[in-house]
Amino acid sequence: MFHILAADRVFILTGAGISAESGIPTFRGAGGLWRNYRSEEVASPHAWRRDPHLVWEFYSMRRRAAAEAKPNPGHLALAALEHTLHDRLFLCTQNVDNLHENAGSRRVVHMHGELFKSRCEDCDRPPFDDPNTYDPPAALPKCDCGGQIRPHVCWFGEVPYHVDEIFRALNECTIYIAIGTSGVVEPAASFVAHAHGPDRPGQGRAQTFYIGPEEPANSAAFTKCLLGKAGQLLPNLFLCD
């Protein structure tokens, strides 16, 4: 059990593993999306330029799968933790699904974007809610300005969103917890080293924990890895002052 003291600030990073028990496939394990699709052909600026129909087909498939998924006890435990800690919890997710929000989390930082949002690639219209699917041979969606509408998702080779806000929170946290992420995709894979490292202005090192069924690639940077499924471990893990 984690004892969270009144002075603690908790940074939580979630990855695909937290949504696995809701039936959304992860990327790299058995049955992972990148076992069936080549990421550079469906999730990169190059793929978008070469075949936007294929990219929209991929994201339409993912929208359908995510629309059917329900939050699991792991998501619910993190929503309850936010209810107790308020702004002492910073919840950052690499996931583009909306299961944290559906569980009741109010302040979720989606560093890789949101599956149910789209944006225009040409004009500065902000990202907007878009639950639609665009499977070929349907026409590709267009903005009023004439530009192409694309998924509001960070592709390989693009810069993740909210990075300044994320590093501010990493500088301030006293407890860092990563859940269900394989620890291979940057910059998220290096957050633990930042939280635990000597570079933080005016702070000691945060305690760092990993939760998931297997050790991540960056396990050496964690104070401790708790091996098990998020939906089983998280509901009884936190004791807050």
Let me know if 112 is a catalytic residue.
Answer: yes
CA pair distance 115, 229, nearest whole angstrom: 24
Q: State which residue has the least CB distance to ligand APR.
A: 17
Q: Which of residues 207-226 bind ligand APR (CB under 6 A)?
A: 212-214, 216
Q: What are 35-40's contacts with CB under 8 Å, separation 24+?
A: 39/156, 40/156
Q: What is the DSSP letter of 142?
A: B
- Residue corresponding to tokens 């760092």: 208
Q: Which of 4, 11, 21, 62 binds ligand APR (CB under 6 A)?
A: 21
H/E stretch holding 10 reads strand 10-14
- The answer to whether 235 contacts ligand APR (rule: CB under 6 A) is no
CA pair distance 128, 225, nearest whole angstrom: 38
Q: Which of 185, 193, 225, 240 binds ligand APR (CB under 6 A)?
A: 185
- The answer to whether 173 contacts ligand APR (rule: CB under 6 A) is no
In 3-state terms, what secondary structure has residue 37?
coil
User: Per-residue x/- marks for ligand APR, 105-134, CB under 6 A?
Assistant: -------x----------------------
Write down the least CB distance from residue 233 to ligand APR, Å: 8
The type of residue at 134 is Y
Catalytically annotated residues: 112
The footprint of ligand APR (CB under 6 A) covers 15-18, 20-21, 26-29, 32, 39, 94, 112, 180-182, 185, 212-214, 216, 229-231
